[in-house]
Amino acid sequence: MLADALPATIAKGLKESMSNSYLVELKNITKKFPGVIANDKVNFNVKKGEIHALLGENGSGKSTLMSILSGLYRPDEGEIIINGTRMVFKSPRHAISAGIGMVHQHFKLIDSFSVAENVILGDDRIPRVLNMKEIEKNLAQLSLRYGLHINPASMVWQLSVGEKQRVEIVKMLYRGSQVLILDEPTAVLTPQETDELFRNIKEMAKSGRGIVVITHKLHEVEQIADRVTVLRKGNSVATLERDQINRQELARLMVGQEITTQCKRNTRPGTQKVLELQNVSCLNDLGLSGLKNITFEVHSGEIFGIAGVAGNGQRELAEVIYGLRKINSGSILVNGTNITGYSPRQMIDCGVALVPEDRLGTGLIPNLGTIDNLILKDYRKEKMNRGPFINWQKAKQKVSRLVDSFEVKVSSLEAPVKLLSGGNLQRLLLAREISSKPQLLIAVYPVRGLDIKATEAIHELLMGQREKGTAILLISEDLDEICKLSDRIGVLSNGSITGIISSDQADINEIGLLMMGETGAEAI
**Distance in Å, CB of 153 to another protein, minimum:** 28
157, HSE (Cβ side, Cα atoms, 13 Å): 4
Among 344, 401, 507, 524, binds another protein (CB under 8 A): 344
Among 138, 362, 400, 436, binds another protein (CB under 8 A): 362
**Closest to 375 (Cα-Cα) out of 354, 356, 394:** 394
Instruction: Give residue 410's identity as a one-letter amino acid code.
Output: V
Distance CA 2, CA 24 (A): 21
Instruction: Give residue 248's identity as a one-letter amino acid code.
Output: Q
466, HSE (Cβ side, Cα atoms, 13 Å): 27
Distance CA 419, CA 411 (A): 9
Contact flag: residue 48 with another protein (CB under 8 A):
no
Among residues 395 and 485, whose Cβ is nearest to another protein?
395
Distance CA 77, CA 181 (A): 22
Contact flag: residue 383 with another protein (CB under 8 A):
no
Contact flag: residue 413 with another protein (CB under 8 A):
no
Q: How many residues bind another protein (CB under 8 A)?
A: 44
> Do 239 and 265 touch, CB atoms closer than 8 A?
no
Torsion of CA 438, 442, 445, 449, to 10 degrees: -20
Distance CA 482, CA 486 (A): 6
Among 19, 141, 328, 346, binds another protein (CB under 8 A): 346
Q: By rule CB under 8 A, what string of x and - marks binding of each residue 180-209 to another protein? A: ------------------------------
Contact flag: residue 399 with another protein (CB under 8 A):
no
Contact flag: residue 72 with another protein (CB under 8 A):
no
> Do 245 and 253 touch, CB atoms closer than 8 A?
no
**Closest to 215 (Cα-Cα) out of 251, 192, 175, 186:** 186
**Distance in Å, CB of 67 to another protein, minimum:** 17
**Which residues sit opposite 91 in a β-bridge?**
none
**Distance in Å, CB of 334 to another protein, minimum:** 15
Q: By rule CB under 8 A, what string of x and - marks binding of each residue 415-444 to another protein? A: xx-xx-------------------------
Among 134, 358, 456, 522, binds another protein (CB under 8 A): 358
Distance CA 95, CA 180 (A): 11
DSSP sequence for 292-355 = EEEEEEEETT-EEEEE--TTSSHHHHHHHHHTSS--SEEEEEETTEE-TT--HHHHHHTTEEEE
Distance CA 27, CA 79 (A): 5
Among 193, 372, 481, 487, binds another protein (CB under 8 A): 372
Among residues 33 and 392, whose Cβ is nearest to another protein?
392
Contact flag: residue 345 with another protein (CB under 8 A):
yes
Give the range of 186-194, 370-378, 456-464, 478-486 binding another protein by CB under 8 A: 370-378
Phi-psi region of 336 (alpha: psi -120 to 50; beta: other; left: phi over 0): left
Among 367, 502, 505, 519, binds another protein (CB under 8 A): 367
Among 241, 267, 328, 379, binds another protein (CB under 8 A): 379
Among 205, 347, 472, 491, binds another protein (CB under 8 A): 347
Among residues 36 and 368, whose Cβ is nearest to another protein?
368
Among residues 7 and 388, whose Cβ is nearest to another protein?
388
Return the residues of window 270-329 that contact another protein according to CB under 8 A: 322, 324
Give the range of 209-217, 287-295, 377-385, 509-517 binding another protein by CB under 8 A: 377-385
Cβ-Cβ contacts under 8 Å for 101 (sequence gap 6 or more)? 70, 171, 172, 173, 175, 177, 179, 180, 181
Return the residues of window 76-105 that contact another protein according to CB under 8 A: 82-83, 85-88, 90, 94, 97-98
**Closest to 378 (Cα-Cα) out of 337, 325, 317, 438:** 438
Among residues 57 and 319, whose Cβ is nearest to another protein?
319
Return the residues of window 133-152 that contact another protein according to CB under 8 A: none
Among 356, 438, 490, 495, binds another protein (CB under 8 A): 356
Among 151, 385, 421, 436, binds another protein (CB under 8 A): 385
DSSP-derived letter for residue 369 is: B
Among 4, 8, 287, 389, binds another protein (CB under 8 A): 389
**Distance in Å, CB of 137 to another protein, minimum:** 23
205, HSE (Cβ side, Cα atoms, 13 Å): 23
**Closest to 217 (Cα-Cα) out of 46, 106, 54:** 54
Q: Using CB under 8 A, list all residues that contact another protein.
A: 82-83, 85-88, 90, 94, 97-98, 322, 324, 343-348, 354, 356, 358, 361-368, 372, 375-377, 379-380, 385, 388-390, 392, 415-416, 418-419
